[in-house]
């Protein structure tokens, strides 16, 4: 097992711009949108965090927690968003470790349950997530909403 470093953005605020650009390249959401959420976290305006996995100094995995991940159910908050692991690093437990890190961090701050939307089936269940319902998001077809208590 490689010696990856798992961090919150508060532990390494100096990589904020690099992280925002990395998420933008993966998801196509403007880097400015990520920076706005990251700044709120770094300034202490929210406890909704950003979690990264580094191989030396290279970002190889990450995710955030935000109020709403582009769906109609505003009552189901906060949401894990932008879960991504670089393809060369998949199947090594990186996303699972980041998910668990986010859940534990939120729980330690009294924030539970948390939610996420995805088209994946079978992956999130391995990490204690439960299918909750279908929700309408930015796509014409409804997507799966999961919850972690």
Residue 83 burial (CB < 10 Å; 0-12/13-18/19+)?
buried
Delimit the domains of the chain by residue range.
5-112
Residue 9 burial (CB < 10 Å; 0-12/13-18/19+)?
buried
Confidence label for 1 from pLDDT (cuts 50, 70 and 90):
low
Output Rg (C-alpha) for the chain, integer angstroms: 15
Tokens 């939610």 appear where? 115
Q: What is the pLDDT of residues 27-66, one digit of tens each?
A: 999 999 999 999 999 999 999 999 999 999 999 999 999 9
Say what the pLDDT of residue 49 is. 96
Q: What is the pLDDT of residues 64-86, one digit of tens each?
A: 999 999 899 999 999 999 999 99
The pTM of the full predicted model, rounded to 2 decimals, is 0.94
Confidence label for 137 from pLDDT (cuts 50, 70 and 90):
confident
Concatenated DSSP letters of 75-88: TS--EEEEEEE-GG
User: In the CATH hierarchy, which fold is given to the domain comprising 5-112?
Assistant: Aminopeptidase (3.40.630)
């Amino acid at each position: 097992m490689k010696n990856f470093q798992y961090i919150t953005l508060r532990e390494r605020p100096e990589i904020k711009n690099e992280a925002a650009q990395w998420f933008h390249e993966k998801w196509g959401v403007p880097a400015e949108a990520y920076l706005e959420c990251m700044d709120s976290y770094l300034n202490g305006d929210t406890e909704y965090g950003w979690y990264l996995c580094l191989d030396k100094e290279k970002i190889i995995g990450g995710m955030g927690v935000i109020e709403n991940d582009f769906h109609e159910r505003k009552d189901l908050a906060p949401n894990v968003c932008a879960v991504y692991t670089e393809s060369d690093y998949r199947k090594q437990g990186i996303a699972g470790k980041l998910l668990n890190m986010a859940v534990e961090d939120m729980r330690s701050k009294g924030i539970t349950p948390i939610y996420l939307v995805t088209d994946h089936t079978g992956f999130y269940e391995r990490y204690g997530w439960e299918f909750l319902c279908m929700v309408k998001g930015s796509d014409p077809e409804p997507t799966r909403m999961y919850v972690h208590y």
